[in-house]
Structure 1
């Protein structure tokens, strides 16, 4: 499953693996349990290109870990 960034108002950014259909739904923060909204990264990403962490950016605004077979 792809990884998405979420922003907790109390704790800050965290990432979670979720289905594409669930990506825009609020998610409970793993630290405090408060609802966190998806954080949209505004930097441009090319489909299939690698970022500085070695993860690639997909067309749904998600990141793929090395060896990911979701696409």
Structure 2
């Protein structure tokens, strides 16, 4: 189940709730009981253990931004 971050406008508390995606925009109550809250934009950092930091090679057969020479 996804986690969503919220901030209370009344007391300034930041808190996290786990809820179904269908309920992502439902109102949230802060731990202090205030209802004036806002959902925060969450950022996700993805790290990996890749052996090389080079960019992947372009696919053969024309490549380009649209995959076949229709650009430019």
Q: Taking structure 2 as the reference length, what is the TM-score of the superposition? A: 0.50
Answer 1 or 2: higher relative contact order, Cα 8 Å, separation at least 6.
1
Greater C-alpha Rg: 2
Q: Are 1:33 and 2:69 matched, yes or no?
A: no
Q: Count residues in correspondence.
A: 46
After TM superposition, the score normalised by the length of structure 1 is: 0.51
Asked if 2 retains the 8 angstrom alpha-carbon contact of 1:3 and 1:18, the reply is yes
Alignment RMSD: 2.0
Identify unmatched segments of 5+ residues in structure 2: 48-72
Q: Name whichever structure is richer in strand by fraction.
A: 1
Does 2:8 align with 1:8?
Answer: yes
The runs of at least 4 consecutive aligned structure 1 residues that moved more than 6 Å come to: none
Structure 1: give runs of 5+ residues left out of the alignment. 51-71
